[in-house]
Structure formats: structure tokens, C-alpha cells
Amino acid sequence: MRLATLAPAKVNLVLRVGPARADGYHDILSLMVPLDFGDGVEVRVSAGKGKVTCRVPGHPDLDGPGNLAARAAEAFRARFGVDRGIAIRIEKRTPVTAGLGGGSSDAAAVLRCLARAFRIRDAAALAEVGLSVGSDVPFFLGPGPAWATGRGERLRPADVAPQDVVLLYPEDPALAIRAGDAYRWLDASRRGAPTPPPLGRPRGIRAGSFRNDLQEPCLAERPALSPLLGLLVGRGATKAIMSGSGPTVFGLFSSRGAARRAAAAVTKEDVGPRVRVIAARTVRRQPRVTSWRSPRSASSRSTRRS
């Protein structure tokens, strides 16, 4: 059996962060929304016993058992008693370590494919498997936009109208930010300061409430990111913030056309460090799993119709 799906990137329209807990994690209040942009994931399940393999063409450093997608497949096999061979292939489009949830989304895409292949309908058990792989994985297993609380595992569906966004991802390795560093910088910035107010509860969605508590300490450590936010506002964004733990920043625009024009304009500008520009739209539902279809066979069908 061979299945395929999109592993969508995500942005955080809201990310509030509480103090560090005794276990080292932080409680969060986050509004997460999937995008119509992401990685292509294919999962092939063999008819007999076998092992888990994972390939990411063009990214040999992501091949193998350390990839979150491979770890998700192994966790699925352990939880549901599966011994079939599982071959994973990822067409990588979402930038790596970018605050866009790419690795977690790949892992969730594999779990969604395997749940269909083995007819697993226990959503709670599947979410537990996902959480064992990463805090953001349960979100990508859900139906769509959601408020996330706890360390990200408690989810409440959110009704978010489609938002047109432009993502700016700086490709300079010196600007990369690991999630652990972002949270450590936030904790350091709060030492000696008054205790932050309670995170509160999910509320109605207003552009003025979009914020990211990690942004200020990350910009202090990576000041080259600040001009990117200004660039988005200068090109018409109604709001520009950092996504997740960064370094990707994004702007919200009034329409798809406005976002595309802004993306085209930014692409032509000299913005210092090499920056990847992506125009995208938030979506209300996670993508479906489908049977894999060869691009060659699709081309053949088109030829026969002509």
C-alpha cells in the first residue's frame, strides 16, 4: 500500500509563554493555524515484515532513523503492534528549524497515513503517540486551526478565517534559532522582572491580539531579523510577527493579491542575509490522505485525453 499527503507548515498567530515548569517545559497559550504550503510525504507499507526507512531527497542530513517522521513510524509500530516494513519519502519544501513546525508536521503526516493503512480510529491513542515524538505533533493530527495549551498537547478547535501571509525565512545559518535557545533567552530576559501575568484563556480572534512572547528576546539575540519585520509592514502588512521560535517572520495581508504583490516586491529587494520569500494562505482543515499516484501516470492520462 502506498499513501500520500501534504504535511502543512504552520504559523502561530498567538504564542504566550508562562514561566518554566519543574520538568523544564513551559505552559503556553498558542493559536496555531496550518498553511496551504508544506512538505509532500509518501508512505509505503510492505506486505510483509520489515523495518522503517526514511529518505529526504536533497537533504541527506535528514535521512534515517533520527528524522521525526521515522521516529513517529517506530512509535506507531510499538503502540499498535505493527511489524510491516514502512518506507517514508519526504519532498522537503518547508524550511528546517524555522519555527514553522516542518518536522512535527512530517511526523503527523506519517501517523495519518499509517492510521489509514491499518484502520486505526482511536484518535486519543494516536495523539499520545504523536506527543511522544514532539509537542506540536498532536496539533497536526487535529482537524485544523486550534488553541494549544499545556506544553501544546491540549487542543481546542478555533474558527479562523483564511489569512493571507508572506513568510520571510533567513537562510543564513548564523540566524538559526533552536527552540530550546529561544525559551532559554526568554527565561533569562525575565530574571529579576515581575512575574508575567497569567496566560489567560483562548479568546476571540483579533489582529490586535496577535503576539509572540519569544519574539523580543529572539530579536535581542538576532537583531538582523528586526528589519525583516519592518520590511513586511512597509509592504502593506497589517501585522508582522515571528512564528514560533523563529527565525521565520511573517506578515498578514488584506488579500491574496496583496500578499503576492508584497512577496514579489520583497524578492527584488536587497534585504541583507539571503531570505526565502513564501506567499501562503492559512487553511481551515488539515489535508486528506490519498492513495499515491505516479506523476507519470497522471501525465499519461492527460495525454490520452488530448
Q: Which three cell numbers stand for residue 239?
A: 501585522
Tell me, what amino acid is at 182?
A: A
| DSSP H helix total and E strand total for the chain | 9, 12
Residue 142 burial (10 A CB sphere; 0-12, 13-18, 19+): buried
Q: CB–CB of 48/26 below 8 Å?
A: no
Q: CB–CB of 180/194 below 8 Å?
A: no
**Torsion angle, CA of 283/231/169/17, rounded to 10 degrees?**
-70
What does R_g of the chain's alpha carbons equal in angstroms? 20
The closest of 4, 6, 35 to 244, measured between CA atoms, is 35
Q: Which of 106, 136, 164, 213 is catalytic?
A: 136
The closest of 283, 284, 232 to 258, measured between CA atoms, is 232
Q: Are strands 275-281 and 211-212 parallel, antiparallel or unpaired?
A: unpaired
Q: CB–CB of 250/166 below 8 Å?
A: yes
Name the binding residues for ATP.
95-105
Tell me, what amino acid is at 167?
A: L
Tell me, what amino acid is at 260?
A: R
- Give bridge partners of residue 2 from the DSSP assignment: 44
Name the binding residues.
95-105
Q: Which three cell numbers stand for residue 180?
A: 530550546
Judge whether 10 counts as a catalytic residue: yes
Judge whether 39 counts as a catalytic residue: no
- Give bridge partners of residue 54 from the DSSP assignment: 88
Residues acting as catalytic residues: 10, 136
